[in-house]
Chains A and B, each alone.
Chain A
Amino acid sequence: MVRSPRTQRALLVVFAALVAASGAAFVSTATAQLAWQERDAIDFRPTGFELVDGDEPALRVEFAVTNPTAVDARIRPSALVAYDGDPRAGATLSVPRSERLAGDREATVPAGGTTTVTLVADVPPERADRTREAVDADRIVVSGSFVVTVRGRSDTADV
C-alpha cells in the first residue's frame, strides 16, 4: 500500500531537515577550511610596553590581534622574547619560556574582529634597569611566535 499523503509529507520534512543539517555542517567546515588557508592574515601588533617593578620584575606587552577570517581563532604565546633593539644583536631582556598571557592560557580572537591581549614575561632583576631604558626609548622588539588554533588545527605564526 502506498504511504498516506501525511506520512509522505512527514518524511519530506525529515529529508529537508537532513539536507539542512548536512548543508550547515558543510558550510561551517568549509568556512573553517578557508579561514585555515588564510591564517597568515591574522596580524599581531605590539601596541604598548610596561615594566612592572618589584622583586620579580616583569615586562607587560600589549598586543592588538586582528583576525580578518570568518572563523574565531584561539591564540597562545609559544616562544616570545623581548629584545633591546634588533633581535639579531642578541640583547635579550625577558627570560625565554617565561612568557604567558595575563589571565587565561589562551585568548580568543573573534572572526573579523580585533582583540587586545597582554603578554607577561619575567625580566631578570639585573636587566630591569636596561629594560626600563628600552621601554622609555621605545626600543623594545618582541620576536617569536604565537600558536594559532582554528577549531581543531594549530599552527605557529611568527611575530
Chain B
Amino acid sequence: MSERTRGALATLTRPADASYGSRRERLLSALTVGLLAGLVGAAAAYTLRRGALAPAWADDTAMATLVFVSGALVKLLCQSLRTSVLALAVATVAGAGLAVATAVVPYLLLDIATLGGLALLPALRDVITLLVFVQIPLQLTGYLVAIVYDGATA
C-alpha cells in the first residue's frame, strides 16, 4: 500500500521522469497533466465566452495566455514525446468535454427549460467556435512551441 502510494506520488511530482518510465507511470502522468491542462483550457474558454461577466483582470489576453502556456506545459512536464502526445490528446478531449459541460450545466443547475435542447444551440455554437478557433489551436501552438524549445535545447 505504502509502496504504491509513494510510487504514485513520485510519478506526480516528477512528471518528466515518469514520462520515460513504466507503462503505468506514463499513463498516470499523461492522464493527470492532460486532465489539468484540459481543465485550464475549459475554464479559460468559459471566461472568454462570458467575457462581459468576467472580472476585470480576466481579460481576453490573460485567458488566451493561460491556454497557450497550459499547452506548452503539457510538453514541458511530460517530456517524452510519446507521453506528451497522449497528454495533449487527453487535454483536448477533456477540455472539449468540460467546455461543453460549462454550457449545459447552468441549465441543469438553475433548472431552466432547454426546450428539448433547442435553447442550448447558441451556447453550444459559441463553445464549438471557441474550441475550434481558440482553445485547441492555442493549446496545440503552445505544445508545438515547447517541442521546438526542447529540440533546440536538446
Contacts and interface: CB of A to CB of B under 8 A. Distances in A.
Contact of A8 (B14, B39, B44): B14
Interface stretch (B69-77, B114-122, B126-134): B69-77
Q: Indicate the member of A5, A12, A24 with the most B CB atoms within 10 Å.
A: A12
B53 A26 contact: no
Interface in A117-146: none
Interface residues of B, number: 34
B63 A25 contact: yes
Contact of A151 (B39, B55, B79, B106): B55
Contacts of A8: 13-17, 77
B35 to A, nearest CB: 10
Interface string A6-40: 01110110110011011111101110111011000
A3 B44 contact: no
A101 interface: no
A54 B122 CA distance: 55
Contact of B43 (A5, A22, A32, A151): A22
22 contacts: A1-B154, A2-B20, A8-B14, A8-B77, A11-B15, A11-B73, A12-B13, A12-B15, A14-B73, A15-B77, A19-B39, A23-B39, A25-B43, A28-B54, A32-B53, A32-B55, A33-B53, A36-B53, A150-B53, A151-B53, A152-B52, A152-B53
Interface of B: 13-17, 20, 33, 36, 39-40, 43-44, 46-47, 50-55, 57-58, 62-63, 66, 69-70, 73, 76-77, 79, 106, 110, 154
